[in-house]
Chains A and B, each alone.
Chain A
Amino acid sequence: MRRLRRILAARRGLFGERRMVALAFLVPALFLYSVFFVAPIIASGGIGLTDWRGIRSPEFIGAENFVQLFLDSGYVTSVWNTVVLILYGLLIQIPIALFLAYLLWQISKGVRVYRAILFFPVVVAPVAIATMFSVFYHGEFGPINQFLSSVGLGAYRQRWLSDFDLVLHSVIIPEIWRFIGLHVVILLAGLQGIPDELVESAVVDGAGRLRIFLRIILPMLKHILLISMILMITGSFKSFEFPLILTDGGPGTASSFLALYMFRRAFVYQQYGYGSAITITILLYALVLTLVARKLLGGERASY
């Protein structure tokens, strides 16, 4: 025993072998993460205060980019469209996912299969799904319009991706569809964590199904719902592949979202300063909405 302690003490000293090896273990990840992840986030803040185009050198202009943003109709439209995307998530995606998770929770057979099928779109490359939907939506030959014609609803054929009023919804729907399974899995895990006795005792007391759901299950699920919502909100600010591939944000900026708008400004127009200013606003919006969601659902420790 004494020998063991001596060996361990030698290795565990401040400059012992164990500490030195651990340092060598830590440094590569620490270096990569600090230089290529943390430093760029901080740099974004600085770049956002400059006028920096193409290969010219940056010029400090203070907060001018941020003032410019709110006069830029493309930016304002992108903010609004992102809000619509979040509303779709809040009012359609998460309620559907919650409903499905609630049903799956009460089914005993086939849950794994349903879960797997619903989750499948989550693992497929967004680029591939967007490409799929560009085929589905094709105005002349796309299967959606073809289907409408073949069942006698030809009058309802649409120019899904070029109709000014429709395009935003056409882009949002596949995006909402794709992540339903993710929320189902998260919420189902939450439901399975609710102690059986709680529900059983309510049943014994003669409480109805709806009452049990509203009074017992929903409050118990608050933390997990919050996680789903935060994930949905931050995900909405990342919406990029779908609008890029389906419409490139068009017609005009009718289907542009914040992440795509940032990308276009920075990499199509090569305005790195302006693009970084957009990035900063994205981070701020996401932060504020996350805090609001947390406040409303009252789960301070929810994300741990």
Chain B
Amino acid sequence: MKSSQVKVTRAERRLRKSASRKRIARVTGYHAIVGFFAAVALVPFIWVVMSSFKASGAILTTPFSLPEMVQLTNYMNAWRQGGLATGFRNTMIVVPSAVALTLLVTTTASYAIARVYKSTSLYLYFTAGIMVPLHAIVIPVFIMFRELDLTNSLQGLILVNTVAGIPLAVLIMVGFFSGVPDELEEAPYVDGANTAQVFFHIILPMARPGLATVTTLTFINVWNEFLFAVTLNSVHRMWVLTQSIRALQGTFVTDFGLVTAGVMITVLPVMLVFVFLQEYVTRGLTAGAVKG
């Protein structure tokens, strides 16, 4: 074997060298193309970050220059005059509540479906909702909430966001629970634990990646949610962040500094979650696609 490898002719060597050179050139080309599209994805955001630190006049006259000095006036104006403070506060109430509720009802239900009933029909019933666009339920939900006096309330938004998150969360959690081996559950029973204890102390900790996926996914979806907010909440006091941003754009049209600062306030928390929990975010947002 070795001797045949040693006996490489000069011509062959030259050929290989040029082939590897070609390979390098090709891969560099790939980097250039992908890099270009990555820039296309990122540049609009970079422009927004830059503009949010500039005086509005400067954005109009020199839209592509770097900010001369970092000033937070735009952020303060968006917060106070733009009314983002209210939206931010309401979002900070709705998002954690909806995330916690979704986790609570879907982990318990998924455990029952995956490990106790082992029921395919229940699983299909819950996950069928993934295929239905939420627009399909917005009119009946509005009419229902109007009767129940749940419009213009944060409770209503928490409820509807929780419900909207159920199908995907069940899909993800059932996936995790059904992989747990039976023996792991049987041992604690012998020691006298009850089912709730087994669930909270044995099964739930094992499904930690699933919990992280559901949490980040629900966080992002509820944070970004607009359709139900705009249909159910007309009273200014109950607006969430996405509604405040829309109003900002309508009122302060050419005050680009203020508008871009508002956009940044909406984007930043999600960006942090994305940067630090990227794997869970991508997994969560493609879960419905790849498995559903």
Specify the chain B residue showing the minimal Cβ separation from A105: B30
Q: Which residues A186-222 have CB closer than 8 A to chain B?
A: 186, 189
Interface-forming stretch among A18-26, A60-68, A83-91?
A18-26
Instruction: Bits for A149-167, please: 1 = Cβ < 8 Å to B, else 0.
Output: 0100000000000000000
Which residues of A lie under 8 Å from residue B85 when comparing CB positions? none
Q: Which of A119-150 contact B (CB under 8 A)?
A: 119-128, 131-136, 138, 140-141, 143, 146-147, 150
A279 to B, closest residue via Cβ:
B136
Q: Which of A71-79, A174-182, A293-301 contacts B (4 or more CB under 8 A)?
A: A174-182
Q: How far is the CA of A276 from the CA of B139 in the complex (A)?
A: 7
Query: Is the beta-carbon distance between A114 and B259 smaller than 8 angstroms?
Result: no
- Which stretch, B1-9, B12-20, B39-47, B68-76, touches the partner chain A? B39-47
Residue A56 lies at the interface, judged by CB distance under 8 Å to chain B:
no
Contacts of A180 in B (CB 8 A): 37, 41
- Give chain A residues whose Cβ lies under 8 Å from the Cβ of B122: 26
Q: How far is the CB of A81 from chain B (nearest CB, A)?
A: 16
Residues from chain B with a CB closer than 8 A to the CB of A132 are 44-45, 48, 260, 263
CB distance from B156 to the nearest CB of A (A): 10
Binary contact readout A20-43 vs B (1 if CB under 8 angstroms, 0 otherwise): 011111101110110011111101
Q: Which residue of A lies closest to B27 (CB)?
A: A107
Say yes or no for B109: interface residue by CB 8 A criterion.
yes
Chain B interface residue number, banded = 35 or more
Least Cβ distance of B209 to chain A in Å? Answer: 17
Minimum CB distance partner of A30 in chain B: B109
Residue of A with least CB distance to B102: A29
Q: Are B108's CB and A125's CB within 8 A?
A: no
A124:B267 contact, CB within 8 angstroms: yes
Q: Which B residues form the contact surface with A (CB < 8 A)?
A: 27, 30-31, 33-35, 37-38, 40-42, 44-45, 47-48, 51, 59-60, 63-64, 104-106, 108-109, 111-113, 116-117, 122, 126, 129, 131-144, 159-160, 162-164, 166-167, 170, 186, 189-190, 194-196, 199, 220, 223-224, 226-227, 230-231, 242, 245-246, 248-249, 253-254, 256, 259-260, 262-263, 266-267, 270-271, 273-274, 278, 281-282, 285-286, 289-292
- Collect the chain B residues with CB atoms within 8 Å of residue A189's CB: 286, 290
B259 CB contacts on chain A under 8 angstroms: 131, 135
Can you name 7 A-B pairs with beta carbons within 8 Å? Answer: A25-B109, A33-B166, A135-B260, A136-B47, A185-B286, A240-B135, A279-B135
Smallest beta-carbon distance A130→chain B, Å: 8
Q: Is the interface of A mostly helix, strand, loop or mixed?
A: helix
- Given contact pairs A4-B186, A29-B105, A128-B267, A122 touches B195 in the complex (Cβ within 8 A): no
Chain A positions within 8 Å of B, measured between CB atoms, are 3-4, 7-8, 11, 17-19, 21-26, 28-30, 32-33, 36-41, 43-44, 47, 96, 99-100, 103-104, 106-107, 110, 114-128, 131-136, 138, 140-141, 143, 146-147, 150, 177, 180-182, 185-186, 189, 227-228, 231, 234, 237-238, 240-241, 245, 259, 262-263, 266-267, 272, 275-276, 279, 282-283, 286, 303-304
What's the least CB distance linking A4 to chain B, in Å?
5
User: CB distance B270 to A125 under 8 Å?
Assistant: yes
A109–chain B nearest beta-carbon distance, Å:
8
Task: Verify A241–B226 contact, CB threshold 8 A.
Answer: yes
Q: Which residue of A lies closest to B263 (CB)?
A: A128
Do B231 and A231 touch across chains, with their CB atoms under 8 A apart? no
Residue among B44, B109, B133, B199 making CB contact with A282, cutoff 8 Å: B133
Q: Would you call B112 and A134 a contact (CB within 8 A)?
A: no
Contact yes or no, A143 B31, CB < 8 A? no
Chain A residue, CB-CB nearest to B264: A128
Instruction: Return the chain B residue nearest A19 by Cβ.
Output: B116
Whether A123 and B270, one on each chain, are in contact in the complex, defined by CB atoms closer than 8 angstroms, is: yes
Bound Cα distance from A259 to B186, whole angstroms: 50
Task: Give which listed residue, A24, A115, A131, contacts B245 with CB less than 8 A.
Answer: A131
**What 5 pairs between A and B have smallest CB-CB spacing?**
A29-B109, A40-B140, A25-B108, A125-B224, A22-B116
Beyond A11-B195, A17-B195, A103-B33, is A143–B131 a contact (Cβ under 8 Å)? no
